[in-house]
């Protein structure tokens, strides 16, 4: 899940930086959008301390579109994907139980398959049954759907969409 969020951060940061540099994936964007992105990038010290989804929202607004609908997929999935990544990266030990479950359970349970290695275990669903291949696949699919929708909306170039040497999609 961490790499999926890292992809989203790298892509939007590259778009803002390319707008400021006048090249790269920002090709095809309107001059007004590039100007607004450049000023935003400079005034936020290259997006430091700006949440990844807020950067996407600002780019949408600069392109003349509304911010993402946070309650609609894939936007909602990415919101919780970022929360999961933040939980993982900034982990603080805490006891979880059926009586005191982790607050992310209500938001992510049912979005992906349970960890098959934990089948039959009486451990709490989160994190033990949650984190596994199902979660990883959901993370990749959610990040890709979010980025694809954004690229289509604003009309920027997306290097990740260019087929590899063997014609496969990365």
| pLDDT tens-digit readout, 60-88 | 999 999 999 988 999 999 999 999 999 88
Alpha-carbon span 150 to 163, nearest angstrom: 19
Q: How many residues make up the chain in this entry?
A: 170
In the chain, the number of structural domains is 2
Looking at the structure, do residues 6 and 61 belong to the same domain, yes or no? yes
Residue 97 and residue 54 share a domain: no
Q: Are 131 and 125 in contact (CB under 8 A)?
A: no
Confidence tier at 100 by pLDDT (50, 70, 90): low
Q: How far out from the chain centre does Cα 68 lie?
A: 12
Picking from 57, 77, 106, 64, the residue whose alpha carbon sits closest to that of residue 5 is: 77
Domain shared by 96 and 128, yes or no: yes
What's the pLDDT at 169?
57
**C-alpha angle with apex 108: 103 to 110, nearest 5 degrees?**
130
pLDDT, one tens digit per residue, over 39-63 is: 999 999 999 999 999 999 999 999 9
Residue 146 included in any domain: no
User: Is 28 among the domain residues?
Assistant: yes
Question: Domain for residue 113, yes or no?
Answer: yes
Average per-residue pLDDT in the chain? 89
In a domain, 91, yes or no: yes
How many CB atoms sit inside 10 A of residue 124's CB?
Answer: 18
The answer as to whether 143 is a domain residue is no
Alpha helices in the chain (DSSP H): 2-21, 31-43, 52-62, 75-89, 105-108, 133-154
Cβ-based neighbour number of residue 152 at 10 Å = 10
Domain with 130, as residue range(s), is 75-138
- Claim: this prediction has a pTM higher than 0.85: yes
Residue 145 lies in a domain: no
Q: Are residues 88 and 38 in the same domain?
A: no
Instruction: Enter the tokens of residue 37.
Output: 């992105």
């Amino acid at each position: 899940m961490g790499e999926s969020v890292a992809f989203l951060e790298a892509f939007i940061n590259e778009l803002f930086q390319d707008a400021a540099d006048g090249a790269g994936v920002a090709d095809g964007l309107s001059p007004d959008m590039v100007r607004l992105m450049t000023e935003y990038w400079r005034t936020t010290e290259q997006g430091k301390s700006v949440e990844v989804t807020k950067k996407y929202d600002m780019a949408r607004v600069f392109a003349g579109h509304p911010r993402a609908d946070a309650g609609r997929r894939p936007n909602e999935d990415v919101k919780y994907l970022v929360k999961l990544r933040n939980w993982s990266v900034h982990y603080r030990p805490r006891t979880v139980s059926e009586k005191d479950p982790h607050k992310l359970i209500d938001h992510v349970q049912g979005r992906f398959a349970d960890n098959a290695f934990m089948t039959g275990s009486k451990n709490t669903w989160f994190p033990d049954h949650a984190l596994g291949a199902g979660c990883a696949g959901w993370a990749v699919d959610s990040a890709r759907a979010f980025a694809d929708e954004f690229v289509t909306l604003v009309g920027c170039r997306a290097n990740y969409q260019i087929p590899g040497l063997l014609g496969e999609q990365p």
